[in-house]
Amino acid sequence: MKRILFALALTLGAITAIPSCSSVVGIGNNSSSFASTEIHNASRSRVRNAVVQTFRAEGFSLIYEKGNSLRFQKWGGTSAELIYGSWYTEGVAVEPEVEIVELGGNSYAVLCDVFMREHSGSSFDANYRILATGKMAYDKLMKKIKKIAETPS
Protein backbone atom coordinates (compact mmCIF):
# COMPACT_ATOMS: atom_id res chain seq x y z
CA MET A 1 0.00 0.00 0.00
CA LYS A 2 2.87 2.35 0.82
CA ARG A 3 4.40 1.68 -2.62
CA ILE A 4 1.13 2.61 -4.33
CA LEU A 5 0.79 5.82 -2.32
CA PHE A 6 4.41 6.73 -2.99
CA ALA A 7 4.01 6.08 -6.73
CA LEU A 8 0.81 8.15 -6.74
CA ALA A 9 2.55 11.02 -4.98
CA LEU A 10 5.47 10.90 -7.44
CA THR A 11 3.09 10.83 -10.40
CA LEU A 12 1.05 13.76 -9.12
CA GLY A 13 4.23 15.68 -8.39
CA ALA A 14 5.56 14.99 -11.89
CA ILE A 15 2.30 16.06 -13.50
CA THR A 16 2.22 19.37 -11.64
CA ALA A 17 5.87 20.02 -12.49
CA ILE A 18 5.28 19.54 -16.22
CA PRO A 19 4.72 22.78 -18.11
CA SER A 20 1.24 22.92 -19.57
CA CYS A 21 1.96 22.99 -23.27
CA SER A 22 -0.71 21.50 -25.49
CA SER A 23 1.20 21.72 -28.75
CA VAL A 24 3.76 19.22 -29.93
CA VAL A 25 6.46 19.60 -32.51
CA GLY A 26 5.19 18.02 -35.71
CA ILE A 27 5.03 18.17 -39.44
CA GLY A 28 2.52 20.89 -40.20
CA ASN A 29 -0.62 20.82 -38.06
CA ASN A 30 -1.46 17.17 -38.76
CA SER A 31 1.22 15.43 -36.70
CA SER A 32 0.46 14.28 -33.21
CA SER A 33 3.92 12.76 -32.73
CA PHE A 34 5.85 13.42 -29.55
CA ALA A 35 8.86 14.63 -31.53
CA SER A 36 9.58 14.89 -35.23
CA THR A 37 11.82 16.38 -37.89
CA GLU A 38 11.96 16.79 -41.66
CA ILE A 39 15.02 15.64 -43.57
CA HIS A 40 15.82 16.86 -47.08
CA ASN A 41 18.23 15.66 -49.79
CA ALA A 42 18.84 12.24 -48.25
CA SER A 43 18.11 8.64 -49.18
CA ARG A 44 15.79 6.48 -47.10
CA SER A 45 18.70 4.24 -46.07
CA ARG A 46 20.70 7.30 -44.94
CA VAL A 47 17.73 8.49 -42.84
CA ARG A 48 17.26 5.00 -41.34
CA ASN A 49 20.97 4.74 -40.52
CA ALA A 50 20.91 8.19 -38.87
CA VAL A 51 17.94 7.13 -36.71
CA VAL A 52 19.59 3.87 -35.61
CA GLN A 53 22.98 5.52 -34.99
CA THR A 54 21.45 8.30 -32.89
CA PHE A 55 19.29 6.06 -30.68
CA ARG A 56 22.11 3.51 -30.18
CA ALA A 57 24.44 6.33 -29.10
CA GLU A 58 21.88 7.12 -26.36
CA GLY A 59 21.93 3.53 -25.08
CA PHE A 60 18.83 2.20 -26.87
CA SER A 61 18.66 -1.21 -28.53
CA LEU A 62 16.76 -1.74 -31.78
CA ILE A 63 14.15 -4.39 -30.86
CA TYR A 64 11.79 -4.26 -33.85
CA GLU A 65 11.93 -3.15 -37.45
CA LYS A 66 9.35 -3.65 -40.17
CA GLY A 67 9.00 -1.48 -43.25
CA ASN A 68 9.30 2.14 -42.16
CA SER A 69 8.73 1.44 -38.44
CA LEU A 70 11.45 0.98 -35.84
CA ARG A 71 11.11 0.40 -32.09
CA PHE A 72 13.94 0.95 -29.63
CA GLN A 73 14.24 0.00 -25.97
CA LYS A 74 16.17 1.08 -22.90
CA TRP A 75 15.38 -0.28 -19.44
CA GLY A 76 14.34 2.26 -16.83
CA GLY A 77 15.45 2.35 -13.22
CA THR A 78 13.70 2.28 -9.87
CA SER A 79 11.85 5.56 -10.40
CA ALA A 80 10.38 4.27 -13.69
CA GLU A 81 9.21 1.13 -11.90
CA LEU A 82 7.63 3.15 -9.10
CA ILE A 83 5.77 5.45 -11.47
CA TYR A 84 4.84 3.06 -14.30
CA GLY A 85 5.14 -0.37 -12.72
CA SER A 86 2.94 -2.57 -10.57
CA TRP A 87 3.43 -5.28 -7.97
CA TYR A 88 4.28 -7.77 -10.69
CA THR A 89 6.75 -5.66 -12.64
CA GLU A 90 9.77 -7.45 -14.04
CA GLY A 91 10.93 -4.10 -15.38
CA VAL A 92 9.79 -0.91 -17.07
CA ALA A 93 11.33 0.10 -20.39
CA VAL A 94 11.41 3.31 -22.37
CA GLU A 95 10.37 2.33 -25.90
CA PRO A 96 10.49 5.00 -28.60
CA GLU A 97 8.64 4.07 -31.78
CA VAL A 98 9.95 5.79 -34.91
CA GLU A 99 8.21 6.05 -38.27
CA ILE A 100 10.04 7.20 -41.41
CA VAL A 101 7.57 8.79 -43.83
CA GLU A 102 8.51 9.57 -47.43
CA LEU A 103 7.51 13.12 -48.40
CA GLY A 104 8.83 12.93 -51.97
CA GLY A 105 11.86 14.45 -53.67
CA ASN A 106 14.38 12.80 -51.31
CA SER A 107 12.61 14.32 -48.31
CA TYR A 108 11.41 12.39 -45.26
CA ALA A 109 9.62 12.99 -42.00
CA VAL A 110 10.89 11.18 -38.92
CA LEU A 111 8.09 10.83 -36.37
CA CYS A 112 8.74 9.59 -32.84
CA ASP A 113 6.34 8.56 -30.09
CA VAL A 114 7.66 7.40 -26.73
CA PHE A 115 6.08 4.76 -24.51
CA MET A 116 6.82 3.53 -21.01
CA ARG A 117 6.11 -0.21 -21.06
CA GLU A 118 5.75 -2.36 -18.00
CA HIS A 119 7.02 -5.89 -18.56
CA SER A 120 5.57 -8.44 -16.17
CA GLY A 121 5.55 -11.56 -18.29
CA SER A 122 1.78 -11.42 -18.80
CA SER A 123 -0.35 -10.29 -21.70
CA PHE A 124 -1.69 -7.45 -19.53
CA ASP A 125 1.48 -5.35 -19.54
CA ALA A 126 0.67 -1.65 -19.24
CA ASN A 127 1.73 0.89 -21.86
CA TYR A 128 1.87 4.62 -21.21
CA ARG A 129 2.40 7.10 -24.04
CA ILE A 130 4.62 9.96 -22.92
CA LEU A 131 3.04 13.35 -23.59
CA ALA A 132 5.39 15.93 -22.09
CA THR A 133 8.13 14.46 -19.89
CA GLY A 134 11.52 14.45 -21.61
CA LYS A 135 10.28 16.19 -24.77
CA MET A 136 13.32 18.47 -25.00
CA ALA A 137 15.65 15.45 -24.99
CA TYR A 138 13.79 13.82 -27.87
CA ASP A 139 13.69 17.10 -29.81
CA LYS A 140 17.50 17.13 -29.49
CA LEU A 141 17.63 13.55 -30.80
CA MET A 142 15.56 14.62 -33.82
CA LYS A 143 18.02 17.47 -34.48
CA LYS A 144 20.94 15.01 -34.33
CA ILE A 145 19.18 12.64 -36.74
CA LYS A 146 18.55 15.53 -39.15
CA LYS A 147 22.17 16.70 -38.98
CA ILE A 148 23.58 13.19 -39.57
CA ALA A 149 21.18 12.38 -42.42
CA GLU A 150 21.65 15.71 -44.25
CA THR A 151 25.45 15.82 -43.92
CA PRO A 152 27.11 14.45 -47.07
CA SER A 153 29.47 11.54 -46.46
44 and 102 Cβ atoms separated by less than 8 Å: yes
Render pLDDT for 25-75 as a digit per residue (tens, 0 to 9).
Answer: 333 334 578 999 999 999 999 999 999 999 999 999 999 999 999 999 999
Distance (Å, whole) CA 67 – CA 88: 33
> Phi and psi at residue 105, in whole multiples of 5°?
60, 40
pLDDT attached to residue 123: 60
CB atoms within 10 A of CB 141: 22
CATH architecture of 26-150: 2-Layer Sandwich (3.30)
Cα-based angle 22, 18, 21 (whole degrees, multiple of 5)? 15
Nearest Cα residue to 76 out of 57, 63, 89: 89
| 14 pLDDT higher than 50 | no
CA distance 128 to 109: 24
pLDDT of residue 82: 77
Query: Could you read off the pLDDT of 65-121 as tens digits, one per residue?
Result: 999 999 999 998 888 777 777 777 678 889 999 999 999 999 999 999 999 888 776
Confidence band for 139, pLDDT divided at 50, 70 and 90 = very high
Q: Going by C-beta distance under 8 Å and a sequence separation of 6 or more, which residues neighbour residue 14?
A: 83, 133
Measured between alpha carbons, how far is 44 from 38 in angstroms, rounded to an integer?
12
